[in-house]
């Protein structure tokens, strides 16, 4: 199993550009989520999904859009990139959303917005 796969690993954008960070998992996990990590900080939840067709906002959702059309994929869209969105983004998944289900993280996507 590949686990949680994120692409791209690195991306540089100009202010105002749009892009999509891809996240795919091959573990048939119901729950998927996106976090961002700023320098010297812990991770903060952006959006999450408890199953295909169901998404909800986390702690810092502004400027991001998500959808979940399949169990495997959970893309994160930046509609109009801003320098404040320069960060490392992590996708994570688990078999369920309860506290007993271990969250598995991807390797991260490093985004720089100029």
Partner 1 sequence: DAKTTQPPSMDCAEGRAANLPCNHSTISGNEYVYWYRQIHSQGPQYIIHGLKNNETNEMASLIITEDRKSSTLILPHATLRDTAVYYCIVRAGSGAGSYQLTFGKGTKLSVIP
Question: End-to-end alpha-carbon separation of the chain, Å?
Answer: 36
Comparison of 61 and 63: residue with beta carbon closer to partner 1: 61
How distant, in Å, are the alpha carbons of 68, 106, 113 from that of 110?
22, 12, 10
* 109: enclosing H helix or E strand: strand 109-113
Please list every residue from 48 through 87 that binds partner 1, using CB under 8 A. Answer: 48, 50, 56, 58-59
Please report how close the Cβ of residue 16 comes to partner 1 at its closest, in angstroms: 26
**Binding residues for partner 1 (CB under 8 A):** 4, 31, 33, 37, 40-45, 48, 50, 56, 58-59, 88, 90, 92, 97-100, 102-108, 110
């Amino acid at each position: 199993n590949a686990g949680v796969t994120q692409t791209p690993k690195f991306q540089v954008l100009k202010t105002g550009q749009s892009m999509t960070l891809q996240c795919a998992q091959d573990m048939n996990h119901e729950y998927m989520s996106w976090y961002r990590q700023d320098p010297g900080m812990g991770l903060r939840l952006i959006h999450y999904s408890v199953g295909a067709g169901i998404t909800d906002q986390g702690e810092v959702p502004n400027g991001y859009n998500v959808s979940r059309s399949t169990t495997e994929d959970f893309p994160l869209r930046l509609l109009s990139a801003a320098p404040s969105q320069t960060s490392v983004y992590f996708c994570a998944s688990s078999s369920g959303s309860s506290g007993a289900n271990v969250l598995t993280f991807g390797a991260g996507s490093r985004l720089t917005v100029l």
